[in-house]
Chain A
Amino acid sequence: MSEIINNSKVRVEKLKQLILEIHEGKPIELAKEELTKMLGSIPYGEVVQAEQELIAGGMAAEEILKYCDLHSEALKGSINLSASKIVAEGHPVDTLIKENQSITKQIEAIRLFKRELQIEDLSKERLEVVILNIRGGLNSLMDIEKHYVRKENLIFPYLEKYEITGPPTVMWGKHDETRGFLKSSAKVFDTEEELSREDILSFYEFLFDQALISIEEMIYKEENILFPMCLDTLTEIDWYEIYSQSDSIGYCLYAPEVKWKPEIDLPKEDKSITSNRVQLSTGSFTLNELEAVFKSIPVDLTFVDKEDTVKYYSHGKERIFERNNAIIGRKVQFCHPPSSVHIVEKILSDFKAGIEDEAKFWINFKDKYVHIAYYAVRGSQGEYLGTLEVTQDVNQYKQLEGERRLLTYDK
């Protein structure tokens, strides 16, 4: 018996050492190799144990997180996909499973930061960082709405078509329960009072943990019951219809990278879409032209509608702030760091009330001098339609002097 305990101790020590080495700059590849060798024989509990001991010893959760990615990367390929049939990349079920992986990662990160809360003499500065990260994690989890809505509005109706009504009904109830826990969790932070370490710990223990558990239980139910059942029941045409309508709802913490082609003859692509002109009051575009024009403007645009939902972003050659399609359909309040969300709220409410029409900021960001402007978008009657964010690097304009009247190409 003692031998086993010792071995376990040794492994935990070894793991800690490896994490520390990564922390000190050991090449990831090397560490990965050692880790892969070890992981086959390491129970997950020991990994948690090692992380716990490092945090108790004063290592920041962010450091461990770096390793977490590595850990899941090393595990890649050894995880059994529980879906009964292997699905093609880009298939709606593949996307749902990938979203679940992103959600799980987010939950792991939250739990790591929570472990720091158990350190009794945690410094005030560190506590602030931990709280911001936990709130940020909660904000990210709000994206789960899109995952649930795609199930409720796209997948469940097809199951009902085949007279499978039980599981969808029960799941829908569970979705609502999770939504309730997340909503209540977010309310904890609507207070002017400063939250202490004990406050956040109790919040975690009595509310937030339950939200995380119900999210995890749902992932388990999806991957072990719902997805296999759907794959056995729905036809390729059903899946194609679901796939075609998924974009409009949006994705959760993940954006599909591959277009999925079902194994059926698709209706010929509608050519009218390329000849369809969008008629505006001062001229018109084809859709292709419109898309290309937005891409060639040297500023990054993001449009949020009057319900505060992100509807569109342009993606030029070099976007300053990274965006991907996972942001479409997300409430703008959950796209900003918790520390600045009150500013976002203030701008939106001033725009909606008609008090203000623009708000501008400029910041140093990496090697750029970034100008960020928010404009209220109003209809012909002055009614509020949404807000446009325009972001650009203004370094090149700041440095201009004199004149340039001759054609010169900037390299």
Chain B
Amino acid sequence: MMNLLITPDITVNELLNEYPQLEDKFIEIAPVFSKLKNPILRKTIARVTTLKQASVVGGVEIGELINKLRKAVGQDEEIVTQFKEEKESGKPNWVTVKTVKFEYDASIDINNGMHPVAKVTKEAEALKDDEIYILITPFIPAPLIDVIRNKGYETFTEERGTNVFATYISRK
């Protein structure tokens, strides 16, 4: 069982209470938050500010913030292991034989504060058995993958570049 998953929706306090060692890392990524060392800020602001909001205030892309924080506590590896049973063998077979029906790059929407989960689940419903839906995101969308898998789809996520992840979604 993984510790608290680092996502845009958790608050700065939730993050720092779970991973106190991340305080310096957080300030390094978003220097504007150097005042976090001040108990006042921890008491008032960190309690209510989500990581997504902090990224806006700090002028950092949300993907960069999430990936760096996950990496610092080894969570990126944990997620990758959890969502990639075929880690050794590269892409699973279905990814290579099925045809890509849609590709949706949600990076801009996510930076604009949108949650792609509703859109993705709706669009994935239109998939035929031999088709694939590709979702592009700035970090591994772990909670979304959970939702999709629980609906009976299989998924495979690969890193395409810095802060660019492609998640393949298909019916089992």
Cα A177 to Cα B40 with chains together (Å): 24
Which residues 194-215 in A have Cβ within 8 Å of B in the complex? 195-196, 198-199, 202-203, 206-207, 210, 214
Does B35 reach chain A (CB closer than 8 Å)? yes
- A174–B57 CB distance below 8 A: no
B112 touches A199 (CB 8 A): no
Residue count of chain A within 8 Å CB distance of chain B: 25
Instruction: Please tell me which stretch of B47-55, B83-91, B135-143 contacts chain A, meaning at least 4 of its Cβ atoms lie within 8 angstroms of it.
Output: B47-55
Contact among B38, B43, B109 for A169, CB-based, below 8 A: B109
Cβ-based interface call for A69 (8 A): no
Residue B3 is within 8 A (CB to CB) of chain A in the complex: no
The interface of chain A, by Cβ under 8 A from chain B, is 169-170, 172-174, 176-177, 180-181, 184-185, 187-188, 191, 193, 195-196, 198-199, 202-203, 206-207, 210, 214
**A210–B43 CA distance with the chains assembled, in angstroms:** 19
Residues of chain B in range 98-130 having any CB-CB distance to chain A below 8 Å: 108-109, 112-115
Interface pair B53/A203, CB less than 8 Å apart: no
Do A184 and B41 touch across chains, with their CB atoms under 8 A apart?
Answer: no
Q: Mark B142-168, 1 if CB is under 8 A from A, else 0.
A: 000000000000000000000000000
A193 to chain B, nearest CB (A): 8
Chain A interface helix/strand/loop/mixed: helix
Q: Which residue of B lies closest to A184 (CB)?
A: B48
Q: Say whether, besides A184-B48, A207-B45, A173 and B113 are in contact (CB < 8 Å).
A: yes
Contact partners of A195 in chain B: CB under 8 A: 44
Please indicate the chain A residues that have their CB under 8 angstroms from the CB of B49 in the complex.
184, 206-207
Instruction: Give Cα A65 to B108, complex, Å.
Output: 39
Given A173-B109, A181-B53, A187-B48, A206–B41 Cβ distance below 8 Å? yes
Q: Is B72 an interface residue (CB 8 A)?
A: no
Contact B53 A210 (CB under 8 A): yes
Bound complex: CA A28 to CA B108 (Å)? 50
Using Cβ atoms and an 8 Å threshold, which residues of chain A touch B43? 193, 199
Query: Please, which residues of chain B bring their CB within 8 A of the CB of A176?
Result: 113-115
* CB < 8 Å neighbour of B50 from A173, A184, A198, A199: A184
Cα distance A188–B43 when bound, in Å?
Answer: 9
> With A173-B112, A176-B114 known to touch, is A202 a contact of B40 (CB < 8 Å)?
yes
Least Cβ–Cβ distance between A45 and chain B, in angstroms = 24
Supply 15 A–B pairs (Cβ within 8 Å), ascending by A.
Answer: A170-B112, A173-B112, A176-B113, A177-B53, A180-B113, A184-B50, A188-B45, A191-B44, A198-B40, A199-B40, A199-B44, A202-B38, A202-B40, A210-B53, A214-B56
| A203 with B112, Cβ < 8 A, contacts A180-B53, A181-B53, A210-B57 known | no
Chain A residues with CB under 8 Å of B41's CB are 202, 206
| Contacts A177-B112, A188-B45, A188-B48 supplied; 6 other A-B pairs, CB < 8 Å | A170-B108, A196-B40, A202-B44, A203-B44, A206-B49, A206-B57
CA A74 – CA B161 in complex, angstroms? 55
Q: Within the assembled complex, what's the spacing in Å between the Cα atoms of A198 and B35?
A: 12
| A187 contact set on B, CB distance < 8 A | 47-48
Q: What's the Cα separation between A334 and B104 when bound, in Å?
A: 39
Contacts of B112 in A (CB 8 A): 170, 173-174, 177
Q: Which of A174, A177, A195 has the most CB of B within 10 A?
A: A177
- With A187-B48, A188-B48 already in contact, the answer to whether A202 and B35 are too (CB < 8 A) is yes
B53 in contact with A172 (CB, 8 Å)? no
- A173 and B115 alpha carbons, distance in the complex (Å): 8
